[in-house]
């Protein structure tokens, strides 16, 4: 394994582990995920720390139980908590995330994606979100990610096309250099 390998961290909501081909499901076909599993690392002894989205994600991104970080429900990740993306950065990684992170109750994506961007045309929105630089945020609303696109709460209609286009553009932008990359992909 490389000294600093790329890390693709895939999180889904309400996804049973046995609903993947690589985990032995007899009918489910997931060839791309199966290949990632074959060529990477699969965590077979894991559990969900909380049935509530924010508490669970806060735990995943800090490595601490929800009660230890003070999130039992729809809470806010305390600013003093160190996140996994911040740890990756300390070791020379450029971090990125696409999708649902949801560690605050408000739509922080408005700040990240610039609420003044007109969402009339999904390509214009994707261009604005994926190609415009994202300013530094001292309040940690991006939870340590240097690049973050959280489009899922902002869009209606042709969502799948938007998601796919934005994911492709963000991945292309983040992988232009050869530095190792931890990328979180989080979908509903």
Where would I find the H helices in 14-52?
31-39
Q: Is the pTM of this model over 0.85?
A: no
Q: Is 91 assigned a catalytic role? A: no
Catalytic residue among 22, 102, 130, 154: 102
Tell me which residue has tokens 């990610």: 145
In the chain, the number of structural domains is 1
**Does residue 149 belong to any structural domain of this protein?**
yes
**Rounded CA gap, 124 and 93, in Å?**
29
Q: Which domain holds residue 183?
A: 49-187
Please tell me the predicted confidence (pLDDT) of residue 166.
Answer: 63
Tell me which residue has tokens 């991104």: 61
**Does residue 20 belong to any structural domain of this protein?**
no
Q: Is 154 assigned a catalytic role? A: no
Question: Which token pair is 79?
Answer: 């600013």
- Structure confidence by residue, pLDDT tens digits, 93-138: 877 776 666 665 443 333 333 333 333 333 444 444 444 444 444 4
Residues 148 and 94 sit within 8 Å (Cβ to Cβ): no
Q: Which of 41, 60, 34 lies closest to 49 in space, CA to CA?
A: 60
**Does residue 4 belong to any structural domain of this protein?**
no
At residue 182, φ and ψ (nearest 5 deg) are -95, 125
- Structure confidence by residue, pLDDT tens digits, 3-23: 778 888 887 777 777 888 998
């Amino acid at each position: 394994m490389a000294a600093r390998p790329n890390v693709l961290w895939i999180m889904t909501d309400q996804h049973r582990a046995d609903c993947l081909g690589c985990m032995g499901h007899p009918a489910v076909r997931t060839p791309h995920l199966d290949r990632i599993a074959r060529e990477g690392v699969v965590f077979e002894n894991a559990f969900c720390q909380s049935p509530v989205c924010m508490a669970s994600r806060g735990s995943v991104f800090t490595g601490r139980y929800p009660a230890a970080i003070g999130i039992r429900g729809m809470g806010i990740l305390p600013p003093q908590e160190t996140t996994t993306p911040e740890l990756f950065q300390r070791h020379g990684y450029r971090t990125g995330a696409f999708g649902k992170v949801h560690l605050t109750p408000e739509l922080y994506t408005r700040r990240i994606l610039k609420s003044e961007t007109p969402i009339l045309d999904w390509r214009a929105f994707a261009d604005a979100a994926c190609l415009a630089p994202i300013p530094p945020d001292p309040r940690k609303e991006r939870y340590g990610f240097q690049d973050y696109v959280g489009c899922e709460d902002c869009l209606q209609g042709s969502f799948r096309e938007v998601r796919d286009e934005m994911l492709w553009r963000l991945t292309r932008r983040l992988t232009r250099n050869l530095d190792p990359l931890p990328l979180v992909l989080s979908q509903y």
